[in-house]
Chain A
Amino acid sequence: SQQGEEDPQALSIQEGENATMNCSYKTSINNLQWYRQNSGRGLVHLILIRSNEREKHSGRLRVTLDTSKKSSSLLITASRAADTASYFCARGDRGAQKLVFGQGTRLTINP
């Protein structure tokens, strides 16, 4: 798929546990971004990782990028009920001048 793959499509965990979402792609990228979307709302930018970076942190978020495997992961540590949302990766393909969103992971945090 041009949009790339995200897995899992849905993830349900208990509050306090860690959540990991994965994003794979087939193109050459400039950067890869992660977004969160609460139900019925717009997307919120979480973190951007450039193609020459391997790992970035922001609060409870950790993003890794492996360009040799063309994959990225988003780790949310110590999850909270408020983290319940859909999470999308979006890649900036070289030369494309636009972002392409993955299919998304629906994360549910159970109290």
Chain B
Amino acid sequence: QQPVQSPQAVILREGEDAVINCSSSKALYSVHWYRQKHGEAPVFLMILLKGGEQKGHEKISASFNEKKQQSSLYLTASQLSYSGTYFCGTEYGEGKLIFGQGTELSVKP
């Protein structure tokens, strides 16, 4: 039931865009996105509930495709501070998050 994230790793130059996908084989109730920097705690970014809504947080936004049981995280005009590992956490109506294996994002100057 662990969601599958893609890509596993991505390297960007400052100002470039990136998309991280999170796919589930089971019907989703909600998807949570977190960013974790090396040696630090995961930090909450946003929650998306089923219904296909899109949310934004500065230059980071996300969508939820209920048909595909997939969520995508969009990072636009990336900054050095965006570097870290991004995790999606999927929830299936039981109040329990199952995290993906993570996508490592490196933003270079």
Task: Tell me if chain B binds chain A.
Answer: no
Write the residues of chain B forming the contact surface with A, with a CB cutoff of 8 angstroms.
none
